[in-house]
Chains A and B, each alone.
Chain A
Amino acid sequence: MNVISLSAIDLALAAFLVLALAMLSLILKLGLASRLVIAAARTVIQLFLIGLVLKALFAQVSLLLVSLLSIFMLLIAGREVMARQQRRFGGWWGYGLGTLSMFVSSFTLTVYALIVVVGTEPWYTPQYAVPLLGMMLGNTMTGVALALDKLTTTAWQQRRVIEARLILGQDWRTAIGDITRDSVRVGMIPMVNAMAAAGLVSLPGMMTGQILSGTDPVEAVKYQILIMFLITAGTGFSAILATWIGARHLFDDRQRLRLERLS
């Protein structure tokens, strides 16, 4: 099946809809118009730039270039995780916690998928490595941000309860146990919902993209299942890791609750 190439006019027709929405927002005084236009412009610029980068990357299979792009994506994801938290850890912890947990989980699972599951040769073939890692990071980023935000805001709200539990002789793990479990659960909700609704309520984006570009739907479905399982595992592992390290860092070596470590 041939792909129908989209022209600039086709994209302009789609952009017209966003502009119409921005106009409506102005009329209804929703205060969204400028943000909507800026976000749409960012989408166009960022996607075209990554398109150019990917084109150059696909032309030469280089581990160094793939690694550089991966680290760049990770650092941006780490910043996003930090920015989405109402009460985040101060200093490098605020940035490092989400970044580290995403690095451990997303990178490990992407490499696992490339070598063991997909079996590309070489394993870092950019056509597979970059989109896989991108989807892993994009989703784990949301999961980690939700989990850490839940952890820090709830610990702040329930500081008296945590201390009451410490007073009664519970260790830090038990004293904050309910909150950490709840945080991981919150971080996992988007992926569990996505898996439950896949195919019934929504056709996942990657699969839809593959079908539109002419791939056999059954092949597209197989890739989508692979991606969803990877993303779910990646989100779960990184949310658990980030929450556990974050919860530990809320206490010092004498197991005192140290909320001043949050900004």
Chain B
Amino acid sequence: MAILQLNDFQVHTLKPLNIEVKDEVICLSGPSGSGKSLLLRAIADLITHSGEARLDGKKCSKTNPVQWRKWVGFLPAESAWWMDKVGDHFSNKNHSYIEEMKLPADCLNWEVVRCSTGEKQRLAIARLLAQQPKVLLLDEPTASLDANSVAAVEQLIKNYSRDNQAPVIWVSHDEKQIQRLNNRVYRISENEISEAEL
């Protein structure tokens, strides 16, 4: 079981955060611009921060950054693609999540420019999970998806967390979704992150 710990973890104007996440999906919500995305980016060690993030006791600052980012899988709100074909962005042969995302098997041959925003988002989730990260940091992963796809993503992430005993931090604005995920929820208010009632 992977354990993500944040000790006096501070980014931008947010107050220091102390939290421990085990094999569970916790939600993070708060108004736009409150620092949710910054927090996820800092945990993925993409921006400077103070304090320490630990994964299974291993300090982020003492771990090779490339290794750390492979362990800590971050899904940005908007996916990025840099080659023509979808399949060129998958570095390994683990394509099982494409099917679970309700995408056709031949989508790896699709041209990226012809994919819709929703398709790109589902492909980005499949691409991230194919790397088998130990932790998932999801920044509004279902914001651009229809109801069926939202349900599929929610189920897939829950299953992934359970099967891989992976901690998940899920940023969401959708109160109904937070209820559905039915776990601990943290809210950002006045630069402070605190656990809140469901």
| CB within 8 Å for A170 and B47 given contacts A158-B82, A163-B76 | no
- B184 adjacent to chain A (CB < 8 Å): no
Chain B residues with Cβ under 8 A from A170's Cβ?
A: 66
Contact yes or no, A168 B79, CB < 8 A? no
| CB within 8 Å for A167 and B65 given contacts A158-B82, A178-B82, A257-B46 | no
Contact yes or no, A164 B76, CB < 8 A? yes
Chain A residues with Cβ under 8 A from B67's Cβ?
A: 169
Looking at the assembled complex, report how far the CB atom of B14 sits from the nearest CB atom of chain A, in whole angstroms.
18
User: In whole angstroms, what is the CA distance A257 to B128 when docked?
Assistant: 20
- B24 adjacent to chain A (CB < 8 Å): no
Chain A residues with Cβ under 8 A from B128's Cβ?
A: 167-168
Please count the residue pairs between chain A and chain B whose beta carbons lie under 8 angstroms apart in the complex. Answer: 51
Looking at the assembled complex, report how far the CB atom of A97 sits from the nearest CB atom of chain B, in whole angstroms.
22
- A255 adjacent to chain B (CB < 8 Å): yes
- Size class of the contact patch on chain B: 20 to 34
User: In whole angstroms, what is the CA distance A168 to B131 when docked?
Assistant: 8
| CB within 8 Å for A161 and B80 given contacts A167-B69, A169-B131 | yes
User: In whole angstroms, what is the CA distance A7 to B57 when docked?
Assistant: 83
Contact yes or no, A161 B65, CB < 8 A? no
Chain B residues with Cβ under 8 A from A252's Cβ?
A: 48
- B153 adjacent to chain A (CB < 8 Å): no
- B148 adjacent to chain A (CB < 8 Å): no
Contact yes or no, A168 B76, CB < 8 A? no
Looking at the assembled complex, report how far the CB atom of B53 sits from the nearest CB atom of chain A, in whole angstroms.
12
Residues of chain A in range 206-263 having any CB-CB distance to chain B below 8 Å: 252, 254-257
Looking at the assembled complex, report how far the CB atom of B172 sits from the nearest CB atom of chain A, in whole angstroms.
20
Looking at the assembled complex, report how far the CB atom of A238 sits from the nearest CB atom of chain B, in whole angstroms.
27
- Size class of the contact patch on chain A: 10 to 19
- A79 adjacent to chain B (CB < 8 Å): no
Residues of chain A in range 148-192 having any CB-CB distance to chain B below 8 Å: 158, 160-161, 163-171, 178
- B44 adjacent to chain A (CB < 8 Å): yes
Chain B residues with Cβ under 8 A from A168's Cβ?
A: 69, 89, 91, 127-128, 131
User: In whole angstroms, what is the CA distance A164 to B79 when docked?
Assistant: 8
B residues engaging A (CB < 8 A)?
44-48, 65-67, 69-70, 73-74, 76, 78-82, 89, 91, 127-128, 131
A residues engaging B (CB < 8 A)?
158, 160-161, 163-171, 178, 252, 254-257
Q: Which 6 A-B pairs have the closest CB atoms?
A: A164-B80, A169-B70, A160-B80, A255-B65, A161-B80, A161-B82
